[in-house]
Chain A
Amino acid sequence: MRDQVPLVLRLFARFIPGDLREPIAGDLHEEYLAMRQRRGAVRADGWLWWQSLRLALTFRWERAAHGRPLPPIGDELRGFGSMWDGLRQDIAFGARMLRRQPGFTAVALLALALGIGANTAIFSIVDAVLWRPLPYPSPNDVLSLGEQRPSENRVHGPVAPADFYDWRSDNAAFAAMAAIEPGPANISGAAEPERVRAITVTAEFLAVIGVKPARGRDFTREDEAPGRTLVALLSDGFWRRRFGAAPSAIGQAISVDDEPCTIVGVLPAAFWWTTTPDIVLIYPTQANAAASRAQHSMDVIGRLKPGVSFEQARADMDTIGKRLSAEYPQTNAKHAPHLYPLQQALVGDVKPALLVLLGAVGLVLLIACVNVAMLLLAKAAGRGREIGVRLALGAGRARLVRQLLTESVLLAITGGAAGVLVAAWGLSAFRAIAPASFAALPGIAAVSIDLRVLGVALAVSAVTGLVFGAVPALTASDQKLTSALQEEGRGGSAGARSARVRAALVVAELALSLVLLVGAALLLVSFKRVLDVSPGFESQNIVLAPVDRQSGTNADVVTFYQSLLERVRALPLVDAAAVASPLPFVGVDGRTGFRIEGRTTQSPIPVRARPRLISPGYFATLGIPLLRGRTFTDRDVKGLPDVVIINAAAARRYWPDDNPIGRRIDVTFADPPRWYEIVGIVGDVKHAGLEQDTDPEAYMPHAQAPYSGQARRLTLVVRTRTPLATMAPMLKNAVIEIDRNQPVGAIRTMEDLIAASVAPRRLNLWLVGAFAIVALVLTAAGLYGVMSYLVAQRTREVGVRMALGASPASVLVLMLRQAGAMMVLGIGIGLAGALALTSTLSSLLFGVTSKDPAIYAGVSLLLALVALLAIAVPSSRATRVDPLTALRDS
């Protein structure tokens, strides 16, 4: 019958003390059989595992705690057991030592919890965003393709539709290639009209990312043909929300931006794309191929054929690029396709910031390590007698080091456990303050403290314990037996060697802090410089309301916006109003090539501008200065001469030596050309963000728009002294009065948009700043602790000096001289380290170089002041030593 004994029982029985093993295992077996009859084998097996584990643990700990000798455990595990027993003794002893000094333990645990917690939190973010592959099959084969235009300083710009079609048909390297244009869409039919997140893609989009629809069918090339009914795929969430997860949604007709559209499928719930679209629409082939070669609007992705390398794909695309440049010099001169992995394209912007954060928390952890090492060293010195006695009783040095290291690893792992709590708290705080743009990062939604992160936290804790424990353990166990016993009871300084170690630790701590402080100061100054940049218009008191008008003819749309503006301008407390597209600090911004009347096609610089459609009154509403000529009036409408206003950057670039007013340009590349006369020049606006250079821009009246799509998607810009909460319903009302089926997008203030545009930088500054402050506090605490210890050690010496007539001032100088040397050395090494390391920050800096002397000087001064304070307090205590007491105590 013995072979019927469950394996778990045989296994765990070995952990039960020998004299009790037999009856306990028997009892469990008996109960197990009874339970199997009553509740089935599965429940009984689970129960047995759980009970065996509990009993095995309870027993060993209980007996150990009550000081009874542990009976030998099973022969098979004897080797493991004796090692475990030794380790257990060390752990129990270490735990007792830590409990006995609650002050020391609390300080060390706090430092470690902060250090490990910050590292765990940042690691979980970096890991999820940078190091986990994209959620697609063979993600490394998915590349992002862009257009390289060196003359415009663009390495990976958007692609023109006609170029994409050529790339797609001519390449030999890609199994599938697709283009994507993000943007909102108005959905109506079935339920209330709604503005949703959409992407417009070509047929093989899902094939590139390796996703199949969960229901219905994928897009085909036939769906792209012009004139066919639009087709759409729904996201799982949108399908559930709007269609109640009805299978009949497939095949249903809806209306997208007032065009009929058929739903052909539903995406799987796990589908992920950076813009988290609700609906994926087919991109119909453009009719006007020439114009679509000048307008760069598409993101392109491709999946490599099996066996094709990145280099082969690049060579293949280069050949196509060269052919297109030769064939279409007017639009494609000096253009080349540019490739890199999709993951890199998606996280490229945040990668340096995340790595800097990881570096910063690493420094914090190192500082925490140094701090705890100093504490341990001071403690070990106090334990000189204990260690001396143990050496005298025959303990080997290795055994002592093992004991001391066990203590420090125990401390680190306890600190690490607290650190994981700190990290969990930190992550929820991070989610609350993370800027909206972070939501587009891959993996950011899945950031959590999972097993992998816990594993890293455990490993970091253990290594941390070894790192900060090694120096004190080696130093402490290296005592000369006799000196340890002789020095007992006397306040003489510990050996010269441990004093050197302590000084080295102080120097290291100061140096590490300085590096972190310089980094934080550079980011702080950069942030200040960014905020000091003028956006080129008055951003206060501006309210924005996107209104996407899809129904009616082009003329109807113009009339709609005109009557909307009339209503809005009549609202109380509205100072000025206009409509425009696109607006500064609002998402996607295209650019278009144009030709200048009378100039040859072979321009030395690419002739390209960002097109803006605006209504009269736009410049006045935003406070953009008119530099020359005139602004638009109500007479600049369709049928009258087309007019355009350029910004100063366009005037500088294309008419550096003459007056552009009166010149004519064409953005349509139509035949015959549609000429727009330049009637004015306005000031530059920081359209893409405060840190970006201003590109050439061309403002056109929306009534004379060359592109009907953009003219339907305008945003109401209102200058008002009324708060947003009051203004928003009034604006919505004005729209509804004209057409109650017309949706309005999110209404926001311009200042919110500007704040959102600097949010990633602000977050980065806050985090690095917080880490730097933690580092400063830890350093000050460490210095304070070491100086207090040194002062206490030298009490007798100071007493003698004062008894012999030394003044308090001379004692203070004596103490400060010792600390001052460490301080100067630490700051010196820190400066060198900062010079070497802060160059990694350069991509995050703005308006300041990574070697700015003023910042280095200021930070050194700050650190020196804090250090002096931390040194002065305990030193001044030395001057108050009463010689009599000091001498009597010894």
Chain B
Amino acid sequence: MAATDVTSLGEFEHMVLLAIMRLGDEAYAVPVRDEIARCTGRDVSRGSIYITLDRLETKGYLKSRLADPTPERGGRAKRYYELRPRAVDALKESRRALVALWRGLEAALS
């Protein structure tokens, strides 16, 4: 089951999970988007970030919690995300698979 899920991780889902991992305790939608933009140079739409976070939570990769409302957000709460162990497994598996596939190919690209 886990193996199937790993292979079904889309590229963008992959990026979102990694960004959350990098952000640690500060992972909510706005910094996730900024982190992806900073690392990859891609400007992704807000809609796709929210949709992906929603989908990853449904699939059981993420859990979220609502923080206390703050005035600079018009009195609205933030939703923080963190990885479930499944997500870590999936990322590990995905990295392993990619590294295995890459092995010996570096020369071919240079």
Contacts and interface: CB of A to CB of B under 8 A. Distances in A.
A58 B76 contact: no
Contacts of B50: 20, 24, 55, 58-59
Interface in B30-83: 30, 45-48, 50-51, 54-55, 58, 66, 69-79
A791 interface: no
Given A20-B50, A51-B46, A55-B50, A25 B72 contact: no
Interface range on chain A (Cβ under 8 Å from partner): 20 to 34
A55 B76 CA distance: 17
B58 A27 contact: no
27 contacts: A1-B71, A2-B74, A5-B74, A22-B79, A23-B76, A23-B78, A24-B29, A25-B74, A25-B76, A26-B69, A26-B70, A26-B73, A26-B74, A27-B28, A27-B29, A27-B30, A27-B78, A29-B72, A30-B72, A54-B47, A55-B46, A55-B47, A58-B45, A58-B47, A62-B47, A63-B54, A68-B58
Nearest to B67: A23
Interchain residue pairs A-B with the least CB separation, the first 6: A26-B76, A58-B47, A23-B79, A26-B73, A5-B74, A29-B74
B96 to A, nearest CB: 29
Interface string A20-38: 1011111111110100000
A62 B45 CA distance: 14
A1 B79 contact: no
Contact of A2 (B28, B48, B75): B75
A10 to B, nearest CB: 9
A773 interface: no
Interface in A2-49: 2, 4-5, 9, 20, 22-31, 33
Contacts of A26: 69-70, 73-74, 76-78
Contact of A30 (B30, B51, B54, B58): B30
A760 B67 CA distance: 74
A398 B3 CA distance: 50
B81 to A, nearest CB: 10
A309 B79 CA distance: 72
Interface in B79-101: 79
A2 B74 CA distance: 5
A27 B73 CA distance: 7
B51 A59 contact: yes
B68 to A, nearest CB: 11
A31 to B, nearest CB: 6
A9 to B, nearest CB: 7
A1 B28 contact: no
Interface string A542-585: 00000000000000000000000000000000000000000000
A4 B74 contact: yes
Question: Interface residues of A: mostly helix, strand, loop or mixed?
Answer: helix
A677 B55 CA distance: 102
Nearest to B76: A26
Interface string B18-31: 00000000001110
Contacts of B77: 22-23, 26
A20 B54 contact: yes
Contact of B51 (A2, A4, A5, A62): A62
Q: Looking at A20, A27, A31, A54, which has the most chain B CB atoms within 10 Å of its CB?
A: A27
A23 B28 contact: yes
Contact of B66 (A22, A58, A62): A22
A24 B45 CA distance: 13
B89 to A, nearest CB: 24
Contacts of A54: 45-47
Given A23-B66, A23-B79, A29 B73 contact: yes
Contacts of A58: 45, 47-48, 50-51
Given A1-B71, A28-B46, 13 more contacts: A5-B74, A20-B54, A22-B66, A22-B76, A23-B76, A26-B69, A26-B70, A26-B78, A27-B28, A31-B30, A54-B47, A58-B48, A62-B47
Q: Looking at B45, B54, B55, B70, which has the most chain A CB atoms within 10 Å of its CB?
A: B54
A169 B71 CA distance: 78
A4 to B, nearest CB: 7
Given A26-B77, A55-B50, A59-B51, A33 B72 contact: yes
Nearest to B50: A24
A30 B67 CA distance: 14
A27 B50 CA distance: 11
Interface string A791-818: 0000000000000000000000000000
Contacts of B51: 58-59, 62
A87 to B, nearest CB: 23
Nearest to B48: A58
Contacts of A23: 28-29, 66, 76-79
Contacts of A30: 30, 72-73
A623 B73 CA distance: 91
A9 B74 contact: yes
Nearest to B51: A62
A30 B47 CA distance: 16
A55 B48 CA distance: 9
B37 to A, nearest CB: 13
Contacts of B30: 27, 30-31
Nearest to A13: B76
Contacts of A66: 55
Q: Looking at B30, B48, B50, B79, which has the most chain A CB atoms within 10 Å of its CB?
A: B50
Q: Looking at B29, B45, B73, which has the most chain A CB atoms within 10 Å of its CB?
A: B73
A705 to B, nearest CB: 79
Contacts of B78: 23, 26-27
A536 B50 CA distance: 81
Nearest to A16: B50
Contacts of B66: 22-23
B69 to A, nearest CB: 8
Contacts of B73: 26-27, 29-30
Contacts of A25: 74, 76
Nearest to A28: B46
Contacts of B74: 1-2, 4-5, 9, 25-26, 29
A24 B77 CA distance: 9
Nearest to A57: B47
Q: Looking at B28, B30, B77, which has the most chain A CB atoms within 10 Å of its CB?
A: B30
Contacts of B79: 20, 22-23
Nearest to B77: A22
A59 B29 contact: no
A27 B46 CA distance: 10
Given A22-B66, A22-B77, A26-B74, A59 B47 contact: yes
Contacts of B47: 54-55, 58-59, 62
Interface in A37-87: 51, 54-55, 58-59, 62-63, 66, 68
Nearest to B80: A23
A4 B71 CA distance: 10
A55 B54 CA distance: 13
A727 B4 CA distance: 83
A26 B55 CA distance: 20
Contacts of B28: 23, 27
Nearest to A10: B74
Contacts of B58: 68
A28 B58 CA distance: 23
A34 to B, nearest CB: 9
A599 B58 CA distance: 107
Contacts of B70: 26
A33 B72 CA distance: 8
A4 B66 CA distance: 22
A138 to B, nearest CB: 51
B34 to A, nearest CB: 10
Nearest to B53: A20
A54 B78 CA distance: 20
B44 to A, nearest CB: 12
Nearest to B55: A66
B45 to A, nearest CB: 7
A112 B76 CA distance: 49
Nearest to A9: B74
A33 B30 CA distance: 13
